[in-house]
Amino acid sequence: MNDLQRLIKLKGPSIRQIATPLGVGYHSLQKTIKGVRKTPAMRQAIASYFNVSPDALWGPKSHAVIRYLIEKEIEHQVKRRAKLTREELTKQYLGNSKAA
């Protein structure tokens, strides 16, 4: 699994869920993510999903950029899970009321 695949797996949507709103084919998207195809239009579509340039994902510094995006997504996931845990514990021990 390459870094781009790891980022997508961490972020959560399936390749089909990414392809549909971008209006691109699932198989073409999958092959581009895996590095089998190098279609500029497909790379542009994937880059737009992550709000970066294609060069950020496939250029000379792409490894560092993708690693940075993975780190940011990990931070986001940790915060999200902590918030969910806090909400679950509050509901469990304090009920629906936020006042003590």
Query: Torsions phi, psi of 19, nearest 5?
Result: -65, -45
Distances (CA, A) of 41 to 49, 78, 95: 13, 33, 51
User: Which pLDDT belongs to residue 61?
Assistant: 95
User: Which pLDDT belongs to residue 17?
Assistant: 86
- Fold observed for domain 3-94: 434 Repressor (Amino-terminal Domain) (1.10.260)
Domain ranges for the chain: 3-94
The token pair that represents 20 in the structure block: 């549909």
pTM of the full structure:
0.79
97 has pLDDT over 70: no
57 alpha-carbon distance from chain centroid: 13
How many angstroms separate the CA atoms of 54 and 39, rounded? 11
**Residues 25-84: pLDDT tens digits?**
889 899 999 999 999 989 998 998 899 999 999 999 999 999 999 999 999 999 989 998
